[in-house]
Amino acid sequence: MESELKYVDLVEQPISMHPKKFALWLFIVTVVMVFAAWTSAFIVRQAEGNWLDYDLPQIFWFTSGIVILSSVALHWAYLSAKKDNFSQLRIGMSLAVILGICFLVGQWFSWIALVDSEVFFVGNPAGSFLYVLTGMHALHLISGLIFLIIVLISTFRYKVHSKSMDTMEMATTYWHFLGGLWLYLFMFLLLNH
């Protein structure tokens, strides 16, 4: 009888994850697959020839720095939330949102620079790929900004704190992913344009 009780005590608990976090991870995997497909198509199409040689806009360097700073600010906010430091949480969240908006504005100016360099969406596939990759990243970044704004509003309502971190963790995960995705795209474009 005693050995049976020990056996029952040793039963492992199943690994569980919040359903919304699981859905976020599925979405992230989907986005990775889509961008992997586009960058693969970029390489295949480039190898076929008839590829426009162009210089990447210099503002891409600036926007890359902005997205890194935005992730740093968000991580600071995340750590502040874990310590219930509400003033630093709000400052970090606000900085992350402002820097995210600056990144989007910078991307808009990069498209203006591309048009000034006569790199267009239609015409040569090199331009088409560049606009699709940066445009789809910007679209995902807009969704990330909306998420950050929702969390920012929640911080002012004291809904984000050390005992309620789910939305903060999800926003941080998604935003860091988007920053990493941009850095991947930028390095990819630097090496393959």
Domains of the chain in sequence order:
55-192 (1.20.120.80)
Cα separations (Å) of 130 from 43, 102, 144? 12, 20, 21
What does the pLDDT read at residue 112? 96
DSSP 3-state of 125? helix
Q: Per-residue confidence of the chain (193 residues) as pLDDT tens digits?
A: 455 555 555 556 666 778 889 999 999 999 999 999 999 999 999 999 888 888 999 999 999 999 999 999 999 999 999 999 999 999 999 999 999 999 999 999 999 999 999 999 988 899 999 999 999 999 999 999 999 999 999 999 999 898 988 999 999 999 999 999 999 999 999 998 7
Other C-beta atoms lying within 10 Å of the C-beta of residue 179: 23
pTM, two decimals, is: 0.88
Q: Which amino acid is at 134?
A: T
The two structure tokens encoding residue 83: 């310590």
| pLDDT number for residue 109 | 96
- Angle between helix axes 86-116 and 59-82 (nearest 10 degrees) is 170
Q: What is the pLDDT, as a whole number, of residue 132?
A: 95
Distance CA 167, CA 15 (A): 20
Give the per-residue pLDDT at 13: 64
- Cα separation of 191 and 179, whole Å? 18
Residue whose token pair is 């850095």: 183
